[in-house]
Chains A and B, each alone.
Chain A
Amino acid sequence: MPTLDPIAMLGDRSSVRFEPGPTEDKMILNMGPQHPSTHGVLRIMLELDGEYILRAEPILGYVHRMHEWIAEQKTYMQFIPNMGRVDYLHAMAWNWAYVGAVERLAGIEVPERAEYIRVAVTELNRISSHLVWWGAYLLDLGAFTPILYAFDDREQILDILQDVTGSRLTYSYFTIGGVYNDVPADFRERCIKFVSRMRSQLPMYRDLVTSNAILRGRCEGIGELTAEVARRYGATGPVLRGSGIASDTRTSEPYGVYDRFHFRIPTYTEGDAMARYRVRLDELETSCEIIEQAVANLPEGPIATKISRNFKPPKGEASMAVEGARGKVLVHVRSDGGPKPYRVKLRAPGFSNLSLFPELAQGTLIADAVSILGSLDLVIPEIDR
C-alpha cells in the first residue's frame, strides 16, 4: 500500500502534529467532520491505542460563517437576525446579548413589559434547548426513544413561541429597545399549562433515563473535571456548575429584571458527565420557576422604546453577558458613531467548553469520548460563528 502523506496531499497545517509516527501500535483516527455524535461539523483527530485515546485535538472552522465580519457590513438593526443563527438552539440568549450591548452603548431604556417578556421567552427557549441536548445526548449513547419524548414536549414550547414570535427555531424577536411584537392574550395560561406539563414529565425522564443502570454506567465517573481545570479553561454554564462552582450570569451579573426573581442555581460537585447531566435536568425545573414568576407579574405597558430609523449610537463600546443554555454568552459592540458597528465580538461559551475536551478525553475509551462530548453540550456553529 503506498504511504499516504497528509501534509503533501492536503497542505493541511493542522495535521502536522499528528504525523504517522514510527510506532505501530497507535492508530490515528479522524472523528471526521461527518459523524453522528459530534453535534455539528466538528473534526477531532484522535490518536488511539486500541480503543484508548492517547491524544485528542478538535479542529474547527468547518462552519465558519463570518458573523463578526457581517456585523461590520450591516446596520445595527439589520444584524439582529444573524444572532438567532449563531446558536440556533438558544437564539433568544444571543439576541438578548447583542441587543442589550447596543442598548447599553446608546443608553436606551427598555420598558418593563418588554423586560418581563424577554425573561419568559428566553427561559422557554432554554428549556427547549436543554430538551434537544437531552435527546441528542441519549441518541449518542444509543437510546433511540428519549429524543422523541423530548421533542414531543418541545413541540409545546415551539407552539407557544410560534404564537408569540411567528418562528419556531431561529427567532429574531428582540429589537433595540424592546421586543418586536406583543405576546398574545393567552400567553400566560399557556405558559402555566406548559410548566405544569413539564413538571409532570420530569419524573418520567428520571425513571426512564436518569436512574437507568446502563446510562449511569455510561455517565458516572466519566470525564471528571475539577474546579481548577474548569476555571483555567474558562468553562461556563452547566459544565462549570457540574464541577462545584455555583456561578451563573443571571445572579452574578444580573441583567434585565432577573434580580426580581427567586430561583435556585443547581450545582453538583462530582464534576463527571453525570453531574453535568443532572445540572441541566435541574435547570429545566429552575426555568419553570422563572417562567411562572415572570408571567405572573407581567406588567402592562409599551413593548419597545422607539429608536430613530437612522440609528447611530454614540462613539464608544459596551458589552453584555447573558446566561445561555451552554454558558456565558458575551457580545461586545464597538461603535464609531456611524450606522454600522465598527466591531462586534461574539464570545461563544462552547469554544471554551470544547477546549476542555483534549484534557478530559485523554486516557478514555472512544465511547467515553462520545459521552464527554455530549455532556459538554456543544453546538458547533456557535463555536465557529
Chain B
Amino acid sequence: MIFSKIKDVLKGLKSLATGLGITGRAFCAKKVTVIYPQEEVDNLSTFRGMVELIGKEDAPEEPMCAACGNCAKACPSNCITILCPIPAKEGEAAQMGPAPQKGARTPGRFIMDFSLCCLCGQCIGSCARNGLQFSNDPYVVSFNRKDFQFDLLKRLHSQAHDRSDSDLPKAKPE
C-alpha cells in the first residue's frame, strides 16, 4: 500500500515536471500573435464587413439598385433607409419618400445605419438584382455616432473614382 502511494506521488511529480517542460518549450517557440498596427492579418478578403452597394458593370458610379425596398423590409434591425422622389402633381415641389415609389428606378438616397447593423446578410439575400455585397473593411471606427450613418451612394461614388484611374480597362483606340 505504501508502495502504491509512493508510486502515485512519483507519478504526480513526473506530471508536474512534464508540465514545466511543455511551458518551457513554448517559451522558446515562435510567437503566434500579429503585432497590430505594424502588421496586419492576411485573411481580410473573406471578412464580413459593412454592407455596400455594387455598381453597374459599364457605369460603376451608378448602383445596380432598383429601389424596390426589399432590403429595407428584410433587415431585422431597420437600418436601411432608401428614399426616392414621390411622383409629384403638377406645380407641387418634389418630395422624397421611402422606397418603393412609383416610377423610381434608382434610389435618391441610400442610408445605412451601421450602428444598428448586425451583419446578418438578410438584405443581401433579399436583393433581386444582387446589388449589395459585404465589403471587407474591419476598420470602421469613429468617435462620433453620426459617422455610422453611411451614405452608400456617396461611398459607391468615391469607390468608383478610386478605381477609375487604376484597373478599369481603358477604351481601346479604334
Chain A residues in contact with chain B, CB under 8 A? 74, 77-82, 145, 149, 152, 155, 159, 162-163, 165-167, 170, 172, 175, 180, 184, 204, 207-209, 211-214, 216, 309
Point out the residues of chain B lying under 8 angstroms from A170, CB to CB: 118
B94 contacts A by Cβ under 8 Å: no
Q: What's the minimum C-beta distance from A249 to chain B, rounded to whole angstroms? A: 26
A80-B43 CB under 8 A given contacts A180-B125, A207-B18, A207-B19: no
Query: Shortest Cβ distance from A181 into chain B, in angstroms?
Result: 8
Which residues 48-83 of B sit at the A interface, judged by CB distance below 8 A? 48, 70, 74-76
Whether B74 contacts A207 by the Cβ 8 Å rule is: no
- Complex interface residues of chain B between 148 and 164 (CB less than 8 A to chain A): none
Which A residues are CB-close (under 8 A) to B28?
A: none
The number of residues on chain B lying at the interface, defined by a beta carbon within 8 Å of a beta carbon of chain A, is: 27
B residues touching A (Cβ–Cβ < 8 Å)?
11-13, 15-16, 18-19, 22-23, 26, 32, 43, 46-48, 70, 74-76, 118-122, 125-126, 134
Kindly state the separation between the CA atoms of A145 and B24 in the bound complex, as whole angstroms: 12
B19–A80 CB distance below 8 A? no
CA A145 – CA B118 in complex, angstroms? 33
Q: A180-B121, A309-B126 are in contact. Are A78 and B74 (CB under 8 A)?
A: yes
B44 to chain A, nearest CB (A): 9
A145 with B23: CB separation less than 8 A: yes
Q: Report Cα–Cα, A78/B125, bound state, in Å.
A: 11
Q: B residues within 8 A CB of A82?
A: 76
Asked if B122 and A77 sit within 8 Å, CB to CB, the answer is yes
Asked if B13 and A184 sit within 8 Å, CB to CB, the answer is no
Distance in angstroms from A155 CB to nearest chain B CB is 8
Q: In the complex, A360 Cα to B92 Cα: how many Å? A: 75
Docked Cα-Cα span, A204 to B32, in Å, equals 17
Question: Roughly how many angstroms separate A149 CA and B26 CA in the complex, as a whole number?
Answer: 9
A81 to B76, CA, bound (A): 8
Whole-angstrom distance from the CB of B139 to the nearest CB of chain A? 16
Does A213 contact B122, Cβ atoms closer than 8 Å?
no
A residues near B13, Cβ cutoff 8 Å: 213
- Tell me, rounded to whole Å, the shortest Cβ–Cβ distance linking B113 to chain A: 16
Enumerate chain A residues within 8 angstroms of B119, measured Cβ to Cβ: 166-167, 172
* List of B residues within 8 angstroms of A155 by Cβ: 32
Q: By the criterion CB–CB under 8 Å, are A213 and B47 in contact?
A: no
A309 to B71, CA, bound (A): 11
Nearest chain A residue, comparing its CB with the CB of B124:
A180
Are A172 and B16 also in contact (CB < 8 A) when A162-B46, A163-B43 are?
Answer: no
User: B125 and A166: CB pair below 8 A?
Assistant: no
Contact A79 B15 (CB under 8 A): no
